[in-house]
Structures are given as structure tokens and as C-alpha cells.
């Protein structure tokens, strides 16, 4: 399984898009390939959105429940963004704890496996306020991970992160939702020159001002998305690694599965209400350190190069170059031992993640 995914990752990287292409062209194939391997399917046959959607079929959807069917025990939880990697993990984790789970899905999206796992579907869109009102009906807790990143118009920062989330919070308040768990980002700041990052901060404040009980998850950089594109892809294909600056700034890279685990725990823990949880991995590493991890596993020295802020990064789209510039401008060292223990989350290290990509025979 890992060997097949590693080969697929190398194929995707070697035909990576030109710098002008959006991030999802690079990341979605890597992520969807991983999801396909986890289900024992041919990675080349699967297409998925930016977070790496679960593949589904019409037959699978028919086997599940639609909004309005009778469900099992437990309180109803609405997950927005459940066809993504993190959102999907959250939905399955909540189902595993015995909760009723409703997922907001677009017609034609790949949500069949979630229905097979026991969720019910409410068709809708963050850009359709009426559909949000229907989806929130009877819901006690709302968990949302949906983003516009990597999608094309009409899904934009304005229509999703700003207008869409305003409509979602209004629908939740009108429906009597008791608790909202919102996935933001550690770097969210209204002063950021990156619209997506600034919008995250605006949405955080809107949630605080909404009158709803809230929990904000603020993860650091996702290793299984950003480090896949920046380090794992070129390392596994025999290429050089490129980044912005010196590559010596430390960051607490976090795995998406761990962020999902915090979200699931926050739903059931009243101590999470009214808190912004800064989430990172078990250690703070530099990009240079990450390159070293892959080099040690592959048994070779991997060449690495830094460009000046504002310059193109070979093989990566402008959005990723801008985010890499943010990483070079500051550090994010998060002490995680106490928070992880409080919420019962075992954190994934960069080495553990890298080992899952590197075949045993090459270590």
C-alpha cells in the first residue's frame, strides 16, 4: 500500500504544474492518491477536491440516509467540509463515538463512504443561505472545516470565508445550535496581505461576536499538505527542495488527523468552549530539518535551495510561495504536551509521517 502511494506521489510530482497553477492541481492528486491507497483502489482512477475527498458512488449514497430519515442515538452534529480529509476524519470520529452526524454536501460530491459509515446528508452550499438553514435544523453542535482554498470561482474568499461563514453562523444561531467548532489557522491575522489568512481572522471574530458558544481550532502548518508539496514530492522523486529564505525558521508542523482528533474531542468536552486552541505537532522543526528527515530515511543528501521573499519558487504556484514567505518571516513554536494530554490526542511526528511515505526497503 505505502509503496504504491509512494510511486503515485513521485508520478504526480514529476508532472507538477507550472508556477501559475493553483495549489489544488498539485496537492489534490497527492491527497486523493493517498485516500485511494487507503481503500485499496488504483490511485490514478480517483479525482478529489483540494483537501483530498473520499471517493463515493451513487450506490454508496443510496445505501445511506438523507436529511430527515430517522437516525441512531446521540445528539445531532452537523459537519461542514466532511468531504475533505480533515472533515471526513471528524465525521467518522464522531460516528465512532455514537453521535448522529449530518454532513453538508453538494450534489454530485463524493460523500458515499460517509453515508455508508452512518452519516446522513443534507444537500447545500455555503453560498446558499436557505440550504444552511435547513441543514442546521435540529442540530446541537456544528463543526466546520470548509475552505475556498484551491477552488475556482464562484468559490472565493469573499463568497466562502466571508459571506458563506456569516450565513452559516446566522443559520446556526436561528436554529438554536448550542456549540460551533470552527477550524481556522494559527497565522490568522486581519493585517495579513494574504486575503485567505486575513479572512480567517475576520471569521474568528464574527464567531466570537455571534452569541453562539464557540471553539476555534488554530492549527499550525499541515505537514500532510504543505510539506507533501514542498519536501516529500521532490525528495521522493529524486529532485531538489526549494523554499523561501533560509529554511531555518522553526514551526510546529501538524498532521491533519491530529487536528481532526482535537475537533472530535472538543465536541464532547465543555472545557473547550470559549477557547482558541493553538494546535501543533510534538516538536518544532525547520524546513531544513524536514529535508534532513527525508534524507536520513532515503539514505542520501537532498539538495535544498532558498529564494528571496517575493521571488517565484520553482515548481510551486504563487499562493504556496506566499505562504512559504510567511513561514520564513517568523517562527511558531507551540508547547503541545499539556494540551494534547488534556484532550487525549497522540500527536504525529514529522518522522512518523515521513516513514509512512518512504518504503521500508529504502530506509
Residue-wise pLDDT for 149-178, tens only, equals: 767 789 899 999 999 999 999 999 999 999
At 49 the pLDDT is: 28
**According to the model, what pLDDT value does residue 152 have?**
74
Looking at the chain, the whole-number percentage of residues with pLDDT higher than 70 is 78
Look at residue 67 in the predicted model and tell me its pLDDT. 52
On the CB side of 345, CA atoms within 13 Å amount to: 30
Residue 165, C-beta contacts closer than 8 angstroms, at least 6 positions apart: 126, 144, 182, 203, 206, 207
> For 138, left (φ over 0), alpha (ψ -120 to 50), or beta?
left
CA distance 238 to 232: 10
Residue 311: which residues within 8 A CB-CB, separation 6 or more? 244, 321
Look up cell 466546520; give the residue.
144
Question: Is-contact 293 274, C-beta < 8 A?
Answer: no
DSSP 8-class letter at 84: S
State phi, psi for 135 to the nearest 5 degrees.
-65, -35
Question: How high is the pLDDT of residue 242?
Answer: 97
Average model confidence (pLDDT) across the chain: 83
pLDDT beyond 50 at 32: no
Q: What is the DSSP-derived secondary structure letter of residue 300?
A: S
**Worst-scoring range by mean pLDDT, 1-10, 102-111, 245-254, 326-335?**
1-10
Residue 140 Cα distances to 169, 249, 332, angstroms? 13, 41, 34
Cβ count within 10 A of residue 250: 17
Give the count of beta carbons closer than 10 Å to the beta carbon of residue 255.
24
Looking at domain 57-219, its CATH class is: alpha beta
Q: What is the pLDDT of residue 18?
A: 38
Task: Assess whether pLDDT exceeds 70 at residue 223.
Answer: yes
112-139: b or e for each residue (b if 16 or more CB lie within 10 Å)? bbbbbbbbbbbbbbbeebebbbbbbbbb
What is the grid cell recorded at 203?
Answer: 471569521
Q: Which residues pair with 81 in a beta bridge?
A: none
For the sheet with 76-80, list strands across it. 65-66, 120-123, 100-105, 76-80, 141-144, 179-183, 213-219, 275-279
pLDDT tens digit sequence for 263-278 = 999 999 999 999 999 9
Amino acid at each position: 500500500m505505502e509503496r504504491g502511494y509512494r510511486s503515485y506521489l513521485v508520478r504526480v510530482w514529476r508532472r507538477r504544474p507550472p508556477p501559475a497553477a493553483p495549489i489544488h492541481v498539485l496537492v489534490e492528486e497527492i491527497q486523493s492518491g493517498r485516500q485511494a491507497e487507503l481503500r485499496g483502489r488504483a490511485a490514478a482512477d480517483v479525482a478529489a477536491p483540494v483537501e483530498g475527498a473520499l471517493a463515493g458512488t451513487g450506490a454508496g449514497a443510496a445505501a445511506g440516509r438523507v436529511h430527515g430519515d430517522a437516525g441512531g442515538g446521540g445528539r445531532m452534529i452537523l459537519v461542514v467540509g466532511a468531504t475533505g480529509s480533515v472533515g471526513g476524519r471528524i465525521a467518522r470520529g464522531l460516528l465512532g463515538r455514537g453521535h448522529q452526524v449530518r454532513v453538508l454536501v453538494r450534489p454530485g460530491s463524493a460523500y458515499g463512504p460517509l453515508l455508508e459509515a452512518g452519516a446522513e446528508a443534507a444537500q447545500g452550499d455555503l453560498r446558499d443561505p436557505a440550504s444552511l438553514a435547513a441543514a442546521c435544523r435540529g442540530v446541537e453542535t456544528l463543526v466546520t472545516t470548509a475552505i475556498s482554498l484551491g477552488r475556482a470561482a464562484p468559490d472565493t474568499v469573499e463568497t466562502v470565508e466571508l459571506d458563506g461563514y456569516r450565513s452559516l453562523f446566522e443559520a446556526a444561531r436561528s436554529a438554536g445550535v448550542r456549540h460551533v467548532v470552527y477550524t481556522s489557522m494559527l497565522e490568522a491575522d486581519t493585517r495579513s496581505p494574504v486575503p485567505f489568512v486575513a479572512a480567517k481572522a475576520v471569521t474568528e471574530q464574527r464567531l466570537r461576536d455571534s452569541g453562539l458558544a464557540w471553539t476555534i481550532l488554530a492549527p499550525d502548518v499541515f505537514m500532510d499538505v504543505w510539506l507533501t508539496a514542498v519536501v516529500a514530492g521532490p525528495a521522493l522523486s529524486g529532485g531538489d527542495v526549494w523554499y523561501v529564505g533560509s529554511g531555518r525558521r522553526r514551526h510546529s508542523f501538524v498532521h491533519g488527523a491530529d487536528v481532526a482528533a482535537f475537533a472530535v474531542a472538543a465536541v464532547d468536552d465543555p472545557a473547550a468552549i470559549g477557547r482558541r486552541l493553538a494546535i501543533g505537532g510534538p516538536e518544532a522543526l525547520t524546513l531544513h530539518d524536514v529535508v534532513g528527515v527525508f534524507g536520513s530515511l532515503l539514505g542520501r543528501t537532498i539538495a535544498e535551495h532558498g529564494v528571496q521573499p517575493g521571488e517565484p519558487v520553482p515548481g510551486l504556484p504563487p499562493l504556496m510561495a506566499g505562504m512559504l514567505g510567511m513561514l520564513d518571516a517568523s517562527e511558531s513554536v507551540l508547547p503541545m504536551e499539556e494540551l494534547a494530554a488534556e484532550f487525549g490526542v497522540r500527536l504525529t511526528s514529522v518522522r512518523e509521517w515521513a516513514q509512512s511515505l518512504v518504503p521500508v526497503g529504502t530506509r
